[in-house]
């Protein structure tokens, strides 16, 4: 178990900057989710920590040990690969025991530790099967056991659940979290699924184009995104580009007839992005209490049934379209008035 520190890590493939001056710290025993779209550099980051990618510059430290130039086999990281990489010619038992054999443990110790690992991931009785004789979820857990059995200082999970069905994915997510807490192991968890990241991480790192967009705990990153990319990636359904207007009271933008403030440093006729989640809008003024809010007006142009709620497309007078989730059933073409907290509407 160790603290992971990364300082100014950069890696280019030709003209593509896979990692661009990335710095971050993960405290001992924490689970950090590295989130980002494909090609954002998240895989490069985890492969750099494991030692499979040689970086152009920067440092990687486990506690005070600088492992930047260490060979992969000497780093004592343990990785779970996206395709699990279970060796097809070895049984489950042999797969898990491999790392211990490399560490020249005694046969008794190997047997004991493998048993411990099998129990840990709840796979007792499967040790003599070959990987292809087990299900995807079981293979995933074997990969996890193989990584954990060697007492790594840090656990690296590279999209560990992306090859599984939604249902199993959901369940395994929490099993991984529980295990991680129980073993108190520093963990880097790569994923492109924002819900997965938010639900299990202590710390979310959002990457795009090789750069860290934001690093925060799940609630903060969700509730106060740094920029439109973060907001949109974390599931904001409305990203509206609007022109800045000016009158004698100063600069403003209009949305649904509401006058919104403009961030500092903008000039008239610049564009701003207005970001808003579909489910943070309400028709019920009372529910918002006496906190300050905006009132947005528009007309329902389209609707879609989503099960528990309905999604409406609302056209505003300025020609924008808002996506809004409401439980109430409303007719298309109805005029509608919506309320939203002032700090739930982000303007960049």
Smallest gap from Cβ 70 to other proteins, in A, equals 12
**53 Cβ partners below 8 Å, 6+ apart?**
11, 44, 47
Instruction: Write the DSSP assignment of 303-319 as a string of letters.
Output: EEE-SSSEEEEEEETTS
By three-state DSSP, how is residue 217 classified?
Answer: coil
Least distance (Å) between residue 194 CB and other proteins: 25
Compute the least distance from the CB of residue 4 to other proteins, in Å.
16
Of 39 and 72, which CB lies nearer to other proteins in the complex structure?
A: 72
Q: Of 9 and 145, which CB lies nearer to other proteins in the complex structure? A: 145
Radius of gyration of the chain (CA): 25
Would you call 54 helix, strand, or coil by DSSP? coil
Which ranges constitute the DSSP H helices of the chain?
42-50, 92-102, 107-120, 136-148, 166-183, 194-200, 218-223, 228-233
Taking the least distance from each CB to other proteins, the nearer of 100 and 345 is 100
Distance CA 163, CA 235 (A): 22
C-beta of 12: minimal distance to other proteins in Å? 17
- Residue 80 or 179 having the CB closest to other proteins: 80
Residues within the interface to other proteins (CB under 8 A) = 50-52, 71-74, 76-79, 81-83, 85, 87-90, 98-99, 102-103, 130, 146-147, 150
Nearest residue (CB) to other proteins, 86 versus 221: 86
Give the shortest CB-97-to-other proteins separation in angstroms. Answer: 10
Minimum separation from the CB atom of position 49 to other proteins (A): 11
The minimum distance between CB 6 and other proteins, in angstroms, equals 18
Instruction: Collapse the DSSP code of 42 into the 3-class scheme (helix H, G, I; strand E, B; otherwise coil) and give the result.
Output: helix
CB 194 within 8 Å of CB 207? no
d(CA 282, CA 162): 34
Three-state DSSP class for residue 130: coil
Largest pairwise CA distance in the chain: 83
Both structure tokens of 75 = 């780093």
| Closer by beta carbon to other proteins, 76 or else 283 | 76
Please calculate the CA angle 332-327-310 and round it to the nearest 5 degrees: 50
> For 264, phi and psi rounded to 5 degrees?
-65, 150
40 or 77: CB nearest other proteins: 77
Residue 253 CB neighbours (<10 A): 22
Q: How far is the CB of 81 from other proteins (least distance, A)?
A: 4
The C-alpha atoms of residue 181 and residue 187 are separated, in whole angstroms, by 10
Rounded to the nearest 5 percent, the helix, strand and coil shares of the chain are: 30, 35, 35
- Looking at beta carbons only, is 133 or 321 nearer to other proteins? 133
Question: Minimum distance from CB of 159 to other proteins (Å)?
Answer: 12
Nearer to other proteins by Cβ, of 156 and 322: the residue is 156
């Amino acid at each position: 178990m160790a603290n992971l520190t990364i300082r100014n890590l950069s890696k280019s493939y030709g003209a593509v900057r896979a990692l661009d001056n990335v710095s971050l710290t993960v405290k001992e025993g924490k689970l950090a989710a590295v989130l980002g779209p494909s090609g954002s550099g998240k895989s490069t980051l985890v492969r750099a920590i494991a030692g499979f990618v040689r970086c152009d510059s920067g440092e990687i430290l486990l506690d005070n040990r600088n492992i930047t130039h260490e060979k992969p086999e000497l780093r004592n990281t343990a990785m779970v690969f996206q395709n699990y990489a279970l060796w097809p010619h070895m049984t489950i038992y042999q797969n898990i025991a491999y790392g211990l054999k490399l560490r020249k443990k005694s046969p008794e110790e190997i047997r004991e530790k493998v048993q411990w690992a099998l129990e840990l991931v709840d796979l007792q009785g499967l040790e003599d099967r070959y990987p292809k004789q087990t299900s995807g979820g079981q293979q995933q857990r074997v990969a996890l056991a193989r990584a954990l059995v060697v007492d790594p200082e840090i656990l690296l999970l590279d999209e560990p659940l992306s090859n599984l069905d939604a249902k199993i994915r959901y369940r395994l997510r929490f099993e991984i979290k529980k295990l991680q807490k129980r073993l108190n192991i520093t963990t880097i968890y790569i994923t492109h699924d924002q819900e997965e990241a938010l639900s299990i991480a202590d710390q979310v790192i959002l990457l795009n184009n090789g750069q860290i967009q934001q690093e925060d705990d799940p609630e903060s990153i969700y509730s106060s995104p740094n920029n439109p990319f973060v907001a949109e990636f974390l599931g904001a359904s409305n990203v509206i580009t609007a022109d800045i207007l000016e009158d004698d009271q100063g600069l403003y933008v209009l949305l649904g007839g509401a006058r919104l403030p403009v961030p500092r440093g903008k000039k008239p006729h610049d564009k701003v992005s207005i970001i808003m989640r579909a489910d943070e809008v309400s028709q019920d003024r009372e529910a918002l209490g006496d906190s300050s809010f905006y009132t947005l007006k528009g007309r329902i142009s389209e609707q879609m049934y989503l099960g528990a709620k309905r999604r409406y497309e609302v056209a505003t007078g300025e020609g924008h379209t808002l996506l809004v989730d409401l439980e109430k059933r409303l007719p298309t073409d109805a005029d509608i008035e919506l309320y939203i907290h002032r700090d739930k509407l982000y303007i960049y």
